[in-house]
Amino acid sequence: MKKVALMHADDRPYGAWKYVLLLLLISSVVLIPYGWLVLQSFTNPEGFFTLENWTFMTQETMIRHGVSLPVATKPMLNSLKFATLMALCVVPVTVCAAYPLSRTDFIGRKLLARLLIIMDAFPQVALLTSFIILLSKMHLTNKLIGVIFLKVAMYLPGSIWLMKGFFDHINWDIEWAAIVDGASRFKTFLRVIVPAAKPGIAVILVNSFLSGWGEYILISIFMRGNATTMSNFISSMLDAEDGKYLVPAGILAAACIAYIVPVIIIFIFAQKTLLEVRQGGSKQ
């Protein structure tokens, strides 16, 4: 395993701080909105520290006269359910589909690989009409499982392609060794290849979960109601009455933070696996 050589702080040229400053300035375009969001969620309109923006987690929030959003735990759980189910569907299908594409030669392999790339590039919205027909024929409209079905189908081509790349990088030697050692093709796949592709599988798992967590378009189109998932919940807060927003900016910011925090938690837990690039236990 090669150690990646990093430029040590001591070896940096003098005056590098000027560029660091410049880069920080450019990055501020991204950083400032996040900072603003955090500040906003903990301040009241008078500019003092407060926790009352977070009440949407425990009580209903009024968005129009007579219309309120439910307690946020429900959309939170729904988002969690949506994202988890999505990841659980995507990972096994992706792994099982990508392996033969990477390792075996069969009729139509090249065509299939090309189709994957094209399908990955299709814009979701262009397929909406067919989605509507499909879901209504399957009696899955206004059901979370129906949207998950669509979302997984849309997500698979890209993830299979990505996973194929991970499999391509696994040394053939280790697969051959397992076959010579007497393992069947399936056992080789399960005991040797899948463990070796673990970081890649983790990437697919986390990415598909986050894609499900962030889904908005399909949910807002196929699900009725204001608070099915968190994305939906937040967009409902932007509902205006007579050109006036009833939900204060502080609450909106707090809801956004609540939507972001689980993502950060996932990254903290997954980063070790995601950063791990291990290859066959060999020096190459």
Binding region for another protein (CB under 8 A): 1, 171, 173-174, 176-183, 187, 191-192, 195-196, 198, 278-284
CB of 162 to another protein, least distance (A): 21
Q: At closest approach, how far in Å is the CB of 281 from another protein?
A: 3
Q: Which is nearer to another protein, 4 or 121 (CB)?
A: 4
Which of 177/246 has CB closer to another protein?
A: 177
Determine what percent of the chain falls in helix, strand and coil, rounding each to the nearest 5.
70, 5, 25
Closest approach of another protein to the CB of residue 280, in Å: 6
Terminus-to-terminus CA distance in the chain, angstroms? Answer: 7
Nearer to another protein, 116 or 197 (CB): 197
Q: Report the nearest approach of another protein to the CB of residue 282 (Å).
A: 4
Question: Which residues make beta-bridge pairs with 70?
Answer: none
Q: How far is the CB of 96 from another protein (least distance, A)?
A: 19
CB nearer to another protein: pick between 19 and 176: 176
Q: Residue 116 or 178: which CB sits closer to another protein? A: 178
Beta carbons of 201 and 91 less than 8 angstroms apart = yes
Query: Do residues 6 and 283 make contact, with C-beta atoms less than 8 angstroms apart?
Result: no
Q: How many CB atoms lie within 10 A of CB 171?
A: 14
Task: Name the H helices within 169-248.
Answer: 172-180, 185-187, 194-196, 198-213, 217-222, 230-237
